[in-house]
Chains A and B, each alone.
Chain A
Amino acid sequence: MMLRGVILCLLIALCLLVALAAGEQWINPFDAGGQDAVILWDLRLPRLLIAFAVGGLLALAGAWFQVLLGNPLAEPYVLGVAGSASVGAVTGLMFVPESAWVMSVGAFIGAWIGITVVMIFARLGPGRMLLAGVVLAAFWAALLALLLALLPEQGLYRAFSWMMGDLSHSDIPVPFLLAAWGVAVLCGMMLSRSLDLLLLGERHAEALGVEVKQLRQRLLLLASVVTAIAVTAAGTIGFVGLVVPHLMRMLFGSLHKAVLPASAIGGGLLLMLADTAARTVIAPSELPVGVLTAIIGVPVFLFLLVRRT
């Protein structure tokens, strides 16, 4: 465990350096001056930090949703939350086309509504709940298609770039995002023992002293706020929340004392690397990072599904 922790720390440092250096032009972070320094510290670093915080938040939310629903294949995006957030964002864009801020608020409200609706169906039990999530995702997609059809042409580009995940800027300030990451990790650690007990099922957890109803409410609130912040900051980026906690469980075991911080860091690294690839592969143009995470995430999801059965 200790060795794996050291390896993870070295990996973070390496990823940070590579992500800083790579781009349309390769810049040595230890020897950058003039315009290179501006590119490095004013453009790339904030973007990296956004990617790190958003990736970590998404992975944490994924880990929480999985315990909340008793299903390791649950994730806000699989449950239709990306769809509801997009509907919220595009609705905002429709009414106040010139304001990025209104779009973000719309996304936040949309994400919140999506999660609340999913949780209403959570009472049906994990299996049916996932099914409800799939149907809800289809509903939000239909609603989104309707809104996009009605959206004026100049709004379409912005809507699409947001829907595919956009880390180039964030309407939420970077220090706030990093603070949210830290607070989320801390909250998760405080709940880690109760979360572990919940892995045994609600009855066992209650019998072992967990106030399950209260814990579920807290978790839901945490997962919703964290998802909403991530979606508001960077648009819809799927599958980080699914894949990362899974990988971390494989590496560090199932107990949350290890899984949560590892997911927060691992999710950050994955999104940082994905974003570096997205802005490097076809430079000077950029690939949407949400598209990349989905291209990686969908096969991994299917692999996990097959492996589980």
Chain B
Amino acid sequence: MNPLMQISQLSLQRGSKQILNDVSFAIRPGEITVILGTNGAGKSSLLLALAGLIPAGGTLLLHDTPVNSFSRVELASQIAWQGELPPTEFGLTVHQRLQLADQHGDIESAAERMDIVPLLNRVLGELSSGERQRVELAALILRDAPIWLLDEPTTHLDLKHQTRCLNMMKEQAANGRAIVTVLHDLQQAAAIARQVALLDGSGGAEIGTADEMLTIEKLSQLFDTPLIKQGKVWAPDYGEVNYESTR
């Protein structure tokens, strides 16, 4: 299938430090790309660059046209970005927050999807981080953009809503949406990824299919941590606490 977005030799700088160098991959409709990497490796910055929110070197083509030749409004119609939780100082209610995502969208049904109907009239500042994260995901559902860029969408969420969030992403991909998401949980990555990008913090990125990338060798090397098999995927070996020895 033709890519919606083609990224070639992308490079990114933070201050004087080169955080990404020569990164190339494609974003296709119906595919979920998961970005994994160490802290500070440039995962969130990569998403911001894809959204056209920070400048980047290299070529970024959206529908075969350079991203920077689109106006903000045009980009917003093509790309939806979910990142940090918005500030709460001005007393917006959940309903108003959702209205800002799309004035004419079906707020009730988006709220239902993310289990926030009882919160609709509450002020954002009164909610927990997990509830606010669900509000942001509902706001995302309201966006009719073909590309979704999500920065740690399952952060702050309890198990029930993590599952709901991942299922929602799978459904959206099945309906043709292209999704790029940063995750930290390897099991979640394995559950949804078609394509995986591993950012190692040295500026390089290794990109391939989920099967190629989610191997014990690559992951334990990337995170510099020994891993054990857990279900279908690899997970860190946290060991067990020996409470007996503390008595």
Contacts and interface: CB of A to CB of B under 8 A. Distances in A.
A89 interface: no
Nearest to B83: A203
Interface size class of A (residues with CB under 8 A): 20 to 34
- Chain B interface secondary structure, helix, strand, loop or mixed? mixed
Contacts of B99: 255
B15 interface: no
Contacts of A308: 89
A249 B72 contact: no
Interface in A68-90: 70-72
A208 B75 CA distance: 8
B66 interface: no
B76 A72 contact: no
B90 A199 contact: yes
Interface string B111-135: 0000000000000000000000000
A249 B77 contact: no
Given A201-B86, A211-B72, A253 B81 contact: no
Contact of A203 (B53, B91, B101): B53
A207 interface: yes
A113 B91 CA distance: 32
A249 B89 CA distance: 11
B239 interface: no
Contacts of B194: none
Given A196-B100, A209-B72, A254-B96, A201 B53 contact: no
B62 interface: no
A250 B86 CA distance: 20
Which of A71, A196, A249 has the most chain B CB within a 10 Å cutoff? Answer: A196
A148 interface: no
B150 to A, nearest CB: 12
5 closest Cβ contacts across the A-B interface? A209-B76, A200-B86, A209-B73, A207-B81, A199-B90
Contacts, number: 65
B67 to A, nearest CB: 13
A204 interface: yes
Given A70-B89, A207-B53, A254-B91, A200 B76 contact: no
B76 A71 contact: no
B188 interface: no
B93 A253 contact: yes
A147 interface: no
B100 A249 contact: no
A122 interface: no
Nearest to A204: B86
Contact of B100 (A66, A206, A208): A208
Contacts of A200: 86-87, 92, 97, 100
Interface in A190-207: 196-197, 199-201, 203-204, 206-207
B84 interface: yes
A209 B102 CA distance: 12
A253 B96 contact: yes
A15 interface: no
Interface string A81-117: 0000000000000000000000000000000000000
Contacts of A45: none
Contacts of B84: 201, 203
A250 B93 CA distance: 12
Contact of B87 (A197, A201, A250, A253): A201
B51 interface: yes
